[in-house]
Amino acid sequence: MTAGAAPMSGGMSMNGAGPGMSAGSGQMQRSSLVPSQGEGDWTPARVSKRSYVPLGQLATIAIVPGPPMISSENAQLRSIVFLNVRGRDMGSFVNEAKEVLDNELHLPQGYTLQWSGQWENQLRARERLSILMPIVFLIIYVMLFMVTKDFTEAFVVMLSVPFALIGGVYLTYILGYNFSVAVWVGFIALYGLAVETGVVMVVYLHESLDRRIQAAQSNGTKGITEQDITDATIEGSVLRLRPKIMTVSTSLIALLPIMWSTGVGSDVMKPLAAPMIGGLVTSAIHVLVVTPVLFSYMKERALKKGTLTMSRMAHWMK
């Protein structure tokens, strides 16, 4: 607040007092004398002849509490309220806080309320993941089709993904982890591992069935029967069980030490590994039990329609 001109300077600036200033200090400021504005130059001789008036007659001085700093953004004044969320996830807290503020807080005209910080970063990450997840599923399905050369078989292998999702969600819930970006990254990695196990199973099933088809063709018989398909399914799923178990066990053994880690970064790696461990267990059960049944059902239908042939991926299984 500019309160007049001072000798040897262009003016005297009076800064507002903080809440710790006493009333006596305010009274002293009001009774302080300032030189009156006159004509002529500011020589020492003329300054000594000037008259002085109390500052209280030129301005209203009051001691009021105020912010220690005035900040602005986009040419608008702003005030930041900092808070930390503990013991619960940020998403449910912000949603509940928004509901309370909408019902009880009535902002004056020209005022706005905006949530920022980690919540804003979480929203941006959620938007990106909502775009990336369908792309991930599409890429997985296209790669499966390139391997199996059949849309139906690619879909059967893709069924391991929902089963993996069930186990990942359950273990994440049991361990009490919130659905953060690290958890979603763990789910994306889980989908690839689940599909890998399904591909190994389908490869062995086709390998067993193709041997029987080749034997029937070389013997000059009419073809294989439904019993041959059942025997091939049992051979491909049961007799080759060890490679499938090793495929899942290798990933589990590599991920389990992360759950007992306590070093730097463990708070990020544990939520990432939890859905992968839970999903690998349920997807392995699906691959070992459900996938052979679906494979046998598809091949029996193809046999009845007369469309059963050698596997289209036989050229690289050899």
Residue 29: C-alpha distances to residues 9, 17, 100, 192, 260 (Å)? 19, 10, 45, 74, 66
190 and 42 share one domain = no
Residue 15: C-alpha distances to residues 9, 20, 58 (Å)? 17, 14, 15
What's the CA gap between 140 and 187, in Å, rounded? 13
Question: Does any domain span residue 82?
Answer: no
Question: Does any domain span residue 37?
Answer: yes
Task: Give residue 53's domain range.
Answer: 1-66
Residue 217: C-alpha distances to residues 127, 212, 236 (Å)? 55, 9, 20
209 and 290 share one domain = yes
Q: What is the pLDDT of residues 44-100, one digit of tens each?
A: 555 555 677 777 777 787 888 877 777 887 878 888 888 888 777 777 888 888 889
Mean pLDDT of the chain, nearest integer:
79
Q: What is the pTM of this model?
A: 0.64
141 and 3 share one domain = no
46 and 195 share one domain = no
Least confident of 24-28, 85-89, 128-132: 24-28
163 and 274 share one domain = yes
What pairs with residue 54 in β-bridges?
33
What's the CA gap between 151 and 115, in Å, rounded? 46
Domains in the chain: how many in total?
A: 2
Q: Supply the pLDDT for residue 9.
A: 35
Measured over the CA atoms of residue 290, residue 295, residue 301 and residue 304, the dihedral's sign is: negative
Question: Does any domain span residue 112?
Answer: no
CATH number for the domain harbouring residue 288 = 1.20.1640.10
Residue 253 or residue 39, greater confidence: 253
Which has the closest alpha carbon to 181: 271, 49, 253, 68?
271
Question: Does any domain span residue 85?
Answer: no
What's the CA gap between 313 and 318, in Å, rounded? 9
Strands 52-54, 33-35: pairing is antiparallel
How much is the CA Rg of the chain, to the nearest whole Å? 38
Question: Does any domain span residue 58?
Answer: yes
141 and 13 share one domain = no
> Given the structure tokens 């953004």, which residue do they identify?
73
Which has the closest alpha carbon to 165: 139, 136, 142, 201?
136
